Structure 1
Amino acid sequence: MSRYELKPRAGNGVIKAVIGWDRPLQTFFAQVFTPTEEEPEEGEATIWLGTEPGELPSPEAAVRVVAVYAEVPLTLAADLAADMDATVGVKDGAHQAEAKKRLFGSIH
């Protein structure tokens, strides 16, 4: 799994945005956090995509989710693609496979 925290754009109420690659789910993910009364500095993920297998199939799909809310480095899509490529051939461990069976009915 990879994870990059991005600097929020000014004036939109976002405190952070996160983007990355989740190898077990075979998806990229994107999160946007806004402050809450209970956690003004950490906030809560008010946007969170990439929690289902294959939901965000490309780096560009994940970048589109966060680009409105955060500054996206020009190399980020390439970095995410490299993160995915680095996991080609990596198989689920026994615990990951069992969790997938329970959650999704399959290990694929």
Structure 2
Amino acid sequence: MSRYELKPRPGNGVIKAVVGWDRPLQTFFAQIFTPTDEEPEEGEATIWLGTEPGELLSPEIAIRVVEAYADIPETLAADLAADMNATVGVKDGLHQAAAKRRLFGSIN
């Protein structure tokens, strides 16, 4: 799994934006965090895509989710693609496969 925390743009109420690659789910993910009364500095994910297998199939899709809220480094799409490519051929461990079967009915 990879995870990149991005610098939020000022004035939109966002305290954190995150994108990454989740190898077990075979999806990119994107998260936007906004402050809460209970956790003003950590906040809660008010936008969170990429929680289902294959939900976000390209780095560009994940980046589009967060680009209105955060500064996007020039190399981010290439870095995310490299993260995905580095996991080609990596198989689920015994526990990951069991969890996938339980959650999704499949290990693929």
Shorter-chain TM-score range: over 0.9
Q: Map residues 1-108 of structure 1 onto 2, 5 A cutoff.
A: 1-108=1-108
- Which structure 1 residue ranges, 4+ long, deviate > 4 Å from structure 2? none
- CA distance in 2 between counterparts of 1:84 and 1:103 reads 22
Q: Which amino acid aligns with 1:81?
A: A
3-state secondary structure, aligned to 1:3 = strand
Normalising by structure 2, we get a TM-score of 1.00
3-state secondary structure, aligned to 2:30 = strand
- CA distance in 1 between counterparts of 2:10 and 2:74 reads 19
Number of residue pairs aligned between Structure 1 and Structure 2? 108
3-state secondary structure, aligned to 2:88 = coil
Identity of aligned residues (%): 84
Structure 2: stretches of 5+ with no match in the other structure: none
Q: Which amino acid aligns with 2:86?
A: A
Q: Residue 26 of structure 1: CA displacement?
A: 0.2
